Each structure stands twice: as C-alpha cells, then as structure tokens.
Chain A
Amino acid sequence: MNLIAILYTIIIAFLAGAIGAMLGLGGGSILVPFLDILVDQGILEGVTFREIIATSLVCTVTTASTSSSIYIKRGITNIRLGIFLGLISIIGVFTGATIMTLIPSNFLRMLFGILLTYTAFNMIKRRQKKSVIKITNGCDKVAEYLGLNGSYFDEAENKEIKYNVRNSIKGLLLSFFGGLLAGLLGIGGGVILVPIMVMILNVPQKVASATSLFIIGLNGATGGIVYLISGLINPYLVSASMIGIIMGATVGTKFLRKLRNEMLRRIFGFFLIYLALRMILKGLGII
C-alpha cells in the first residue's frame, strides 16, 4: 500500500467511526462498503474483499473495547452474562470465519448487502422510544446459579434498576448466530445479540447494548486470531483503519451527539440502502 492509499483508508475509517458513533452502529457495517468503494476506485490495489471483512472485524475490537470499557466503569455491562453468552458465540465466530474462507467473495458481498439492507430499514423505521424495562420475579435456575441477574443505576430514571435473566439456555444457544454473522461478515454481531438479550433473556436495552459490546470484543478477538492464522490480515489496511476508526468514533461520540436525531438517521438509512444495493448488484456481477 502506498502513502495515498494509507491516507485514504484513514479518512474513510474516520468517517465510518464518526458516522457509526453518531448513529449507534458498529463501524464495521459502514467500513466494509466504504473500503470496497476504495478498491473499486483502484486506490486500494490488490486488497481482497476477505481482507476487508477481516479488517472490519479486527476494528470492531478497537471500537467495542473502547466503548465497552466505559460501560464497564459505569457498572452497566453485565460481565457475567457477557462471558456466559461468549461461550457459544465464539464457537459461532470460528464457524463463520472458517466458512468465510471457503465461499466466493461475491456471495459474501450479497450476504453483506442483505444484512446492510436490514440495518438500513431498521434505522429508517426506528423511533427514539423510551426503553421499556421489564422487572420480573421469574426464576431461571441457571441464571441464579451463575449469578447472571443484575442491577444498574439508570441516570435517566435516577434509580437502581434490577432485572432477572430468563431463558438463559435458549439465549446461550442463539448467541451462536451472533458469532456466526460476526465471523462470516466481519461485523460485531450486535444486530443479533442485542435482540436476543432484550427479547429472550429479558435484559434491559441499556444493559443489552453495553453487554453486547463486551461480547463483540470477544468475537472480534476470536475472528482476529482465525483470520491472522489464515493470512487474511492486511497489516497496512488494519493499522490505518484502526487509527482512523478510533479517531472517528471519539469525534463522533464527543462532538456530534447533537446530530443524533430522527431525520439524520433516516438520511443515513437511505444512504446505507444505496451502499447495500451497490454491494448486492456487485455480488450478482451486474456492476
């Protein structure tokens, strides 16, 4: 990679990090199509789509670890639950990362495009609603045995929120798919892990988002190891992306919070649909 390519990668990763932080998305879902565009433009010569996916997953370790550490400090992350779900999730990552090395790049592009379309539609239709906290007295023996139930101080509500984890075994098994998606497409897997925690495990939204970041870190590390051994880690691309994405995420979180509104989400939602369609069409060989 030459100096121009490195600079472009840092800028693109910066944008992905900033937009991701503003919209509450993992940087990966934006970084992958952006880097793919740089390849199409001939700026990133010789970089394969698999290397882009590997770069994206390693970068999720940077962003997820940084954000996760803040939530851990605030006591929102349920580390025990994160470890519990991580047990099966990392096996999913290994499976996904292994499958990724075997299937054609264009098929991966199509899968990524479909996932991006789903993310985009969620962004367009989602309204800023107050998270509903379900406080249940239901007893899950595994959760109780491992001490997975928890509490956190909710600043908005100004009170301590207690929650009981339910359906822990079901959630554990389903976390495999979060890992599978992470390993296959280089995203963190939050798109699957958060709904599992909220809808199946009965965990409050805030705790689910914070805990998913902890698991995403684990997923990223597992995928990173597999990709590194498979020779899919491009050190130039990863280093430049890491630097760009962390700077972008910092700026996005600190200075652009005011822009986090519905209209902006919708505009970027439509932009993501464009990126998704582009990837699907490229995957089909039409463009």
Chain B
Amino acid sequence: MHEYDVYKLIRVGVIISITISAIGLLMISMGVETTMSKNPTLAEFISGICRLDPLAIMYLGIMILILIPPATLTYLIISYLIHKNTNMGLLTTSVLIILITITLIKLFLL
C-alpha cells in the first residue's frame, strides 16, 4: 500500500471540495440568484448543477468532502487486494458495505 497515494487522494479531495464550495458561496455573495430549495431532491440537484446554480455548487462541494473517506476506503480495498492482503481487504470492504447500508437504511427506511 502506498501511504503517499492516500495522502494525495485526501489532500486533493479536500482542496477540490473547499474550492467548489467557495465558488458557490462567492456566487451567492455576488448576488447570483438560486432557484433551488434548501433541501433539494437528487433531480433538483442535478438540474441545479447543469444550470450552475450556486446552491447546487455548494452542495456539490459538501458531497465531495463527505465522499473523501469512502473514496479512501475504495482505494485501500483495491490496494489490499492487489497486494494479496485478503484479511484487510475483507475488513475494509466490510466498513464500506456498512457505510453503504447506513446510507440505504437512511434513504429508504428511516
């Protein structure tokens, strides 16, 4: 496993997410109007991104930030499997599966 790759992945992710959020915030500050509701549906969000809606851009930045740890886990799973570390590969996969399950439970059950 290359620690430096994990470092780069996290750093780049944080920089991208903050930059995107800052752009959205700057657009709002400059008076660009948003037509989105505060808690948009997925369809509203995608449509907002296509229209470069500042609120959708801010949401995109936040989503990228939240997705950094799952992306790190995905990288680690691939890395462990390449290096034939099956035990850690399975453990990391379990963490990712729990995370996905939590998301699905929250989306459809709670």
Chain A bound to chain B: yes
Measuring CB to CB, which residues of chain A are less than 8 angstroms from any residue of chain B?
3, 6, 58, 61-62, 65-66, 68-70, 72-73, 75, 79-80, 83-84, 86-87, 90-91, 94, 98, 145-147, 217-218, 220-222, 224-226, 228-231, 233-236, 238-240, 242-243, 246
Query: With A238-B58, A239-B22, A239-B58 given, can you name 16 additional A-B contacts, CB distance below 8 Å?
Result: A65-B10, A65-B68, A66-B10, A69-B14, A79-B1, A80-B88, A83-B73, A90-B95, A91-B98, A145-B87, A218-B99, A228-B66, A231-B38, A235-B24, A235-B62, A243-B25
Chain A residues, CB < 8 A from B87? 145-147
- Considering the complex, give the chain B residue whose CB is closest to the CB of A226: B106
Residues of A near B59 (CB, < 8 A) are 233, 235
Is A73 in contact with B95, judged by CB distance below 8 angstroms?
A: no
Number of interface residues of B (CB under 8 A): 49
Whether the Cβ atoms of B13 and A65 lie closer than 8 Å is yes
Q: Does B46 contact A (CB under 8 A)?
A: no
What residues make up the interface of B, taking CB atoms closer than 8 Å to A? Answer: 1, 3-4, 6-7, 10-11, 13-14, 17-18, 21-22, 24-25, 28-29, 38-39, 55, 58-59, 61-63, 65-70, 72-73, 76, 85, 87-88, 91-92, 94-95, 98-99, 102-103, 105-107, 110
Inter-subunit contact B7/A73 (CB<8 Å): yes
Interface contact A69-B106, CB-CB below 8 Å: no
**The residue from A69, A83, A91, A94 contacting B88, defined by CB atoms under 8 A apart:** A83
With a CB–CB cut-off of 8 A, which chain A residues contact B94? 87
Q: Name the residue in A98, A147, A226, A242 with the highest tally of chain B Cβ atoms < 10 Å from its Cβ.
A: A242
A61 touches B18 (CB 8 A): no
B6 A233 Cβ-Cβ under 8 A: no
- Decide if B58 touches A217 in the complex (CB within 8 Å): no
Question: Contact between B29 and A6 (Cβ–Cβ < 8 Å)?
Answer: yes
Across the interface, name the chain A residue whose C-beta is closest to B3.
A72
Chain B nearest Cβ from A95, distance in angstroms: 10
Partner of B110, one of A84, A98, A221: A98
**A240 in contact with B25 (CB, 8 Å):** yes
